[in-house]
Structures are given as structure tokens and as C-alpha cells.
Structure 1
Amino acid sequence: MARALAPVIARQQWRLLARDRRLGVLAIALLLVLCTAALAGAALHQARERERAAAQVEEAQVWAMQGPANPHGAAHFGRYLFKPVSPLAVVDPGLLPQLGTSLKLEAHANNPARNRAIDGGTALDRFGGLSPATMLQVLAPLLIILSGFAAFSGEQARGLLRQEMAAGASPVTLMAGRLAGLGLIVLLVLAVASAAGAASLWMAGGSAAELGPLLWMIAGYALYLFAFTGLTLAASAAFASARTSLVLLLAFWAMATLFVPRLAPTIAEAAAPTQSGPAFEAAVTKEVMEGPSGHDPRDARLERLRQDTMRRYGVAKLEDLPIDFNGVALFHGEALSTAIYRRHFAALYDGYDRQAQIQRALALVSPFQAIRPWSAAIAQSDQHAHRRFLEQADGFRYDLVQRLNRAIIHRPKEGEGPYMADVAAITRDAKFVATPAPIREALSRHWIDLAILTGWAALSLLLAFGAARRLGRASA
């Protein structure tokens, strides 16, 4: 009997929600904004990718048109890379507005990425937060709360709840039916989000390979929204006043989606501080000049390199070397500075990872802290994806500079004046291709976020049915 009533209650709950014009307007507005954000993001992604590709082609032409140049001078002249963006970032731009989009590659330096979108100041950039992910993370839970806060408390105040239970429907059955009815709103939102995401991927030039990650992303949002569904009905069943349940649910929504996400970075930085830009550069420069222990200055290292090189070639003077020692010094200096930069950058990003773990701990009070890193990681718009690009770019930079240094090492001995060479010919085979991380890497790194979301969904179910049982005892 109870199982037969649950679908009836679900259909009744859905009809009540559908008849509420205010909720209908809110739901339609949310879905329209979600679709608009997805399609507008895809169009913007297309435009930016065209600009990036054109800028990269122009940069390659500038490098190729240098003509005869000193290889080390060309290494300092440098090259520029422009960061490609995953099509999935249309759905969730993640940290992209706060991360740089261009990178200068030059000798003796591992430069940070520049030209962040947030620094642009254009009218369009001010709407950068309007993405499908924002709709699902912030506004969709609000729609769920407004749809279900009176599901039990409102009927209890009107005396309808007692009539339903007198007709043979147990509180647990009523809760199951209302969960199913309110869950239809979640399914509708997720279905529209999936369709809009697939359409935006197609517009952004994505392939069928991105559909799998999109489904993983939607799975996380399903758990996230279902957690809000269970919590909403639990509050509605726990309090006799619809106004009380609404106020408490709105307070939780504001805390979970607005306050905690803004306090979390400050808490993480205070608990695990990282170096500022000037302090980072000063530490690298100090180690380059003095060695890791502070007792191995650069002049002493250079002198040892001179002696080792002359011993290897069996000569007593640098002038008798069959190679150019300046190139050898540049080659070894580049290897040393690159190793130092990479070690310091690894320590810096490890610090960022510790901060991310601290922020993840706040997911115990806010499911937002679990869905945001999950979504951004799947979209390849998080800190790890940015780090992967920087590391690949630095590998390309190191190979490029060392090719030029080898040209100096093996330069012709005849001729006067500075050595000039065709640097474009020397580096003709040096091509940079950024390779994104496979989806399994993001899944293995962020499975804990999905587990936390699953825990929130399970907890909301326990609270909902627990409140229903207490409601039944109170009405007995």
C-alpha cells in the first residue's frame, strides 16, 4: 500500500509545483540564463581561441624573421606562448579568469603567466562569473529551497498533512514521494544543463571525447543538488512553520555558497602561507648567486667549470679549446637556473595544494567546497591544469635555449666580432604542443570530492527520513 502511494504523492507534489506560477517563472528564468551562459561562453571561447591561434602564428613569424642574430641574444629576445583553453571550460571557467594567458620564454628565467582575464577591465569580463557552473552551484540550490521549503510545514499549518496520514500514507512514504517529486526539478535542471553543455562543447570545437568528462561533471552536480533537496525537505518536516524552515534554509544556502567560499582562501592562506612574487624571485636569485647552501658562489662554480672543461680537452688555456667556453658556461648556467626554478616552483605549487586541502576540509560545512574543485578539475580549468601547461612550456623553453647554447659551443672559430647565426634554422624543429591531462588523472586526484558529495547526499537522506519519522510520532 505504502509503495503504491509514493508515486501518487510524487505526481501530486509535481503538479503543485507546476501550478505555482512564481516557481515556474523562476525555473524558466534559471534555465534560460543557464542556456544563455553556455551558448555565450561557447561563442566567447571561439573568439578567444581564434585570437590565440592568430597571435601564436604571428609570434612564430616574428621569431622566424629575425635573420642572423646572436643565439644568446635571441634566447633573451625570447618567444611567447598563449595558453590554449579546454572546451569544457565553457561549462566551468574555474580559475581561468585569475590565471595568466600568455607566457614569455627566455634564457635564465621561468616567468609567470601574464595577462589575466580579470585584469582586462572590459565590460564583457565583468560578466565572467556568469557560467553554467555558477547557475548550478549557486542558483539551482536556491530554486530547490524555494520549491520545497513548505512541502511539509505548509501542509501541516493548513491541516492537510494530518488528512494525508489519516488516509493511510505514512510520513516515510510522504517523504519518499516528495523527494521523488522535488527530484524531478533536479532532473529537469540537469537535463537542460547537459543539453546546453553538449551544445556549447560542439560550438566551442570540442569532440565526442569531452562528453564523457561532461557526464562525470553532471554526476557531481546531481549529488550536490540532491543534497540540497534532502536538506530542504528535512527542514520542512522538522519545523512546523514554513517561515522558520525558509529562513534557516536560506541562511544555510548563503553560508554554503557565498560566505564559506569567500572565507576559505583567507583561512587557507593563514594556515599554510605561500611566498609572494617578490619573495619567490629573491629566493631564486639568492640561490643562483650563492648556491643552495649559501657557501658556493657563482664565481667559484664558474672557475671549477673552466678547469673541468680544460682538463676534459687536455688544454692549458681557454683559447686552445676547440669549442667556445662561453657557450659551455651558458649551457651549464641554464641547467642550474632551470633546476632551481623548477624546485622552487614545485614547492610553491605544493603549498597551493596544501591550501586546497584546507579548503576541502571546509566541505564538511559546505558542499560547495567539494563541487567547485570537482567541476573545475573535470573542466581542466583548475590550478593543476595551469601547472601542467607551465611545466610543459618550461620544458619547451629549456630545450629551445639549450639548442641556442649548443650553437654557441660549436660555433666556427674563424671570424671576428660577435657570433651571428640563423636562429630560426637552429630551432626549426622546436614545436610546442600542449597536451591536456587525461580524465582519469582528474578523477584519481579528486575522488575525495565526489566521496564528500556522496556523503552530503546520504546525510540529507538520513535527516529527511529522520525528520519524517519524528513528524509521524508527533502527529500520532
Structure 2
Amino acid sequence: MLIKKELLQSYRNKTVLISAIVIWLLFIAATICTFLNYHVNNKQRQAANALFRQQWEHQQRNPHDAAHFGTYLFKPVHLLNVFDSGINDYTGNTYRVEAHIQHEISNSEAENSDTAMRFGNLSFALILQLFVPLFLLFITSNSITGEKEHGTLKMLLAQGLSSRKLIWAKVWANYLLIIVIILPIFIIMAIALLFSGDMDLLFCRFLWILLTCLVYYLLVALLGTIISAVSNQSGKALLSALCFWIFMSIIFPKLITGIANRSYPLMSRAVFSDLVEQGYRKGLNGKDPYAARGVRYINSLLKKYQVNRIEDLPFDIDGMTLQFNEDYRTMAFNHYFKEVENSFNQQQHFLCLSGIFDPFLSAKRLSMALAGSDFYHHEQFFKQAQAYRNDLIRKLNMQLAVHGKDVKGEYVVGLRYFGQLKDFSYQLPPLSRILQLEKIAIISLTGWILLLILLLQFIASRSLALNYAAV
């Protein structure tokens, strides 16, 4: 009865009703913006993939020249990326495949959009993680102080209603109200997933995102009710709740990100590129120059095949030396990239641990990970694209080495060969791996829930009449 009464009271409250309407208008705007953006980006990627595939298949050229011509790989976009774009707008979506050069992922959305760079795009995650908790704190922080100020608290307690029942009725009524508001958007997302063709791949991730939101909102409802229970005036309670929201959602994440960047600084792109080039030219130890390595490699081939002249080798030496140098450049790139990767991993671990002190940070990291838009998924795309690139360049060089020796003039291949080379296919990491990586975030949210429940139980064990008397 108490919960029903609270829900009816919220329904009749014009401020609550207007706030709910505003949230739904934001949802509608986000739906239009994000699904249009998803449709356009997906269409552009498919068109670009088809164009590059057509160009690749219909070329007539030397295999190594084809390696220089190269191609482009695009980070795939699915509906959960639409839900939470995470860092995708800032990390790029295109990988260039080219011989002799190990490219990084480029062409981020934010590069061409000042608004996206400054404020980020309007997404479901932004609304659910920022505006909905603010609304929930607004209604919960006023839940008990409103009873005090209207003089109804003393009447309710005098009728034999316990403080514990009253407090938990407030918590569950406001929590159910938020569920009623947000549930339709998740139903729409589920229907969209059903018709997207990625249902089997993404649905479990979607359910975990829903669970994350529900847990986080319960946490916010508990926090807001605690603030209301210990406050004597609605104005002070609302101000306290607003301060909590600003600190958890804006100040602390910015502060922690800045500390992570200063504590584990990244090597600049110019320095990294110079190190890779010097490592390739002079050797990783600085004492193995490019020319000497090449001579030593050719001599090892002559010895292996027991011949005295390069012309007597059973393959085209150009293809073999090209691949040898390619392997060494890749080794130099990976050698120095480990340092960059280590700095990234240290930053991510620091941010993950910081989520213990801020449940918003934990909820946001978990949401991005489940949506496939966090740093780990970006890193996985890069590694898979790099592996595809290395394998493709090796196939082209070895094609030249194996079949180019006895050809008069330039060795050229065409549609039959290029057409049988496979396209790049990005594989999402398994959900179990994501949950393992984000176990600290899961533990953090669970721990905060238990802590706030214990605190609320402690407050409820003390009669609210004592606080009411102090008003």
C-alpha cells in the first residue's frame, strides 16, 4: 500500500511528470540521432568495403606492388555501440594495410566534429548514466524531507508505521518509477537487436547492460533516500544530492583521468615512429644495421640450399628478402609498441581501481566494456587488423618468391589470385573474458549496494521522529 501510495503521489506531482517527459524527449532525440548515425556509418562502411574489395580483386600487378597499394580495414559497428559509443568517437575506426609501414588506427569521428570533441555525442548511455541518476537523486532526496516539511511524517509514525517500512517504501517506489521510465527504451533496443542479425552475439551483453543499469539505479535510489533521511530540509537535501552527482559524474572521473595521464604518460607518436625506424635501420640493439642483416640473411639461404649463387636458389630472392625485412620491421614495431601498450594498460588498471571509490565510474566502464566500445575492444581490433595485415603482406611476398623466379620480365597476377584472398573479419571477445576483465567494477557496484543497504538499515533503526523533532 505504501509503495502504491508513493507511486500515485509521484504521478500527481507535476515536477516529477515534467522531468520524466524531458527524459523521454531526450531519449527520442537520442534515438533519432544515434540510429541515423548508425545507419549512415554502417552504409558508408559497407560501401567502402565493397569499393576497396572491388579495386583489390580487379587489379593486375606485381604482388609486392599490390602490397604497396594495400587496402583499408574498418572497425565494425553494431547496435550496442549505438547504445554506448564509449571511446569509439575518439580512437578512430580505420586501419591502413600497406607494405613496409605499420599504421595505427585513425579517422576518429571527433577529429571532424568540434561538438563531439567538447561534449560527446547524445547517446542512450549518456542519458541513462547522467540525467536519469540526477532525476532519481532529485526525487529521492525529497522523499522523506517532504514528509517532514508537510507535517505528515509525525502522523505516519503515530499510526504505528515503523521508520524501516517508511524508508524502504520510499526506496522501492522511486526505484520502480525509474524502471517504468527506462524500461521502454530497453524494450526498443531488444526489438532492434532481434532484427539486426546480431541477436545471438549481442543479446547476453545487452542483458548485462540492463542489469548494470538496474543495479546502478538501485544504488542511486539508496543514496538519495539516505541523504533525505539524514536531512532536515528539502533544499539542503537537494543541494547535497546535487553535490554528490557533480562529484561522482563529472569531477572525480576528470580528476582521475588526469592523474592517470600524468602518472603513466604515453610516448608521443613522433618519438614512437622514430624509435621504430631507428630500430629497423640500426637493429634493436643498435649494432645490427639493415644492410648487414640483409647480407647475413642471403648468406644463410645460400648455405641452407647449398648453392654459391643467388641465381641458383629455387625461389625469387626479392620476395624472400622483402618478407625478411617486413618481419624485422614488424618485430621492431611490436618491440616499442609494448612500452606504449604497457602505459595504456597501467592507465586502464588505475581507472579500474578508482571505480572502487566512485560507482559511477564502475558503471560507466562496465557499460562500455559490454557495449564493445572500451579500450580493450579497441586494442583487440588493432591486434586483429595488424595480424590480418601481416598475414596478407606475407602471402603477397611469398607469392612473388615462389612463382616469380622463372618469369621473364615483371611477375604479374590478376583476378584469379586476388579474388581468392579472404576479407578481414573482426571477432568480438567472448563475454566471459569481458566480465573477467571488469570484475573489479562488478565487485565495486555490489560492495556499494551492500554498504548503502547497511547504512540505510542503521538509519532506519533509529526513529525518524528524532530527526523530525529537530526540524
TM-score normalised by length of structure 2: 0.93
Bigger drift between 198-207 and 91-100 goes to 198-207
Letter in 1 for 2:130: V
SS of structure 2 residue aligned to 1:441: helix
Aligned to 2:420: 429
Identity of aligned residues (%): 27
SS of structure 2 residue aligned to 1:295: coil
Aligned to 1:112: 104
Question: Runs of 5+ in structure 1 lacking a partner?
Answer: 1-7
CA contact (8 A) 2:264 2:343 kept: yes
CA contact (8 A) 1:376 1:382 kept: yes
SS of structure 2 residue aligned to 1:364: coil
Q: CA deviation at 1:39?
A: 4.9
Aligned to 2:411: 420
Q: 2 CA distance for matches of 1:271 and 1:158?
A: 51
Aligned to 2:7: 14
CA contact (8 A) 2:137 2:221 kept: yes
Aligned to 2:124: 132
Q: 2 CA distance for matches of 1:332 and 1:306?
A: 10
Aligned to 1:229: 221
User: Quick one: structure 1 residues 244 and 135, their matched pair in 2 at CA, closer, same or farther if it must change by over 3 Å?
Assistant: same
The Cα offsets for residues 41-93 of structure 1, whole Å up to 9 and x where unpaired, read as: 223212211211111111111122321x2322221121111221122111111
Bigger drift between 229-238 and 343-352 goes to 343-352
Deviating beyond 6 angstroms after TM superposition, the runs of 4 or more aligned structure 1 residues are 122-127
Q: CA deviation at 1:125?
A: 9.1
CA contact (8 A) 1:43 1:204 kept: no
Q: CA deviation at 1:291?
A: 2.2
TM-score normalised by length of structure 1: 0.92
Aligned to 2:168: 176
Q: Does 1:474 align with 2:466?
A: yes
Aligned to 1:92: 84
The Cα offsets for residues 354-397 of structure 1, whole Å up to 9 and x where unpaired, read as: 21121123223321210111111111111111221221211221
User: Quick one: structure 1 residues 274 and 118, their matched pair in 2 at CA, closer, same or farther if it must change by over 3 Å?
Assistant: same
Bigger drift between 432-441 and 174-183 goes to 432-441
Match of 2:243 among 242, 251, 257: 251
User: Quick one: structure 1 residues 217 and 163, their matched pair in 2 at CA, closer, same or farther if it must change by over 3 Å?
Assistant: same
Match of 2:55 among 59, 62, 75: 62
Aligned to 2:325: 333
Match of 1:72 among 64, 76, 96: 64
CA contact (8 A) 2:353 2:440 kept: no
SS of structure 1 residue aligned to 2:355: helix
Bigger drift between 399-408 and 54-63 goes to 399-408
Q: Does 1:46 align with 2:35?
A: no
Aligned to 2:144: 152
Letter in 1 for 2:36: A
Letter in 2 for 1:447: K
User: Quick one: structure 1 residues 123 and 425, their matched pair in 2 at CA, closer, same or farther if it must change by over 3 Å?
Assistant: farther
SS of structure 1 residue aligned to 2:97: strand
Q: 1 CA distance for matches of 2:463 and 2:350?
A: 38
SS of structure 2 residue aligned to 1:421: coil
CA contact (8 A) 1:256 1:365 kept: no
CA contact (8 A) 1:400 1:427 kept: no
Q: Does 1:389 align with 2:381?
A: yes
Bigger drift between 251-260 and 277-286 goes to 277-286
User: Quick one: structure 1 residues 327 and 464, their matched pair in 2 at CA, closer, same or farther if it must change by over 3 Å?
Assistant: same
The Cα offsets for residues 376-435 of structure 1, whole Å up to 9 and x where unpaired, read as: 111111111122122121122112111121122224445665x23115443433212222
Correspondence list, 1:238-277, <5 A = 238-277=230-269
Letter in 2 for 1:93: S
Q: CA deviation at 1:123?
A: 7.7
Q: Does 1:321 align with 2:316?
A: no
Correspondence list, 1:292-303, <5 A = 292-303=284-295
Question: Runs of 5+ in structure 2 lacking a partner?
Answer: none
User: Quick one: structure 1 residues 273 and 124, their matched pair in 2 at CA, closer, same or farther if it must change by over 3 Å?
Assistant: closer
SS of structure 1 residue aligned to 2:285: coil
CA contact (8 A) 1:264 1:359 kept: yes
SS of structure 2 residue aligned to 1:137: helix
Q: CA deviation at 1:130?
A: 0.9
Q: 1 CA distance for matches of 2:185 and 2:439?
A: 22
User: Quick one: structure 1 residues 163 and 84, their matched pair in 2 at CA, closer, same or farther if it must change by over 3 Å?
Assistant: same
User: What's the RMSD between the two structures over aligned residues?
Assistant: 2.3
SS of structure 2 residue aligned to 1:422: coil
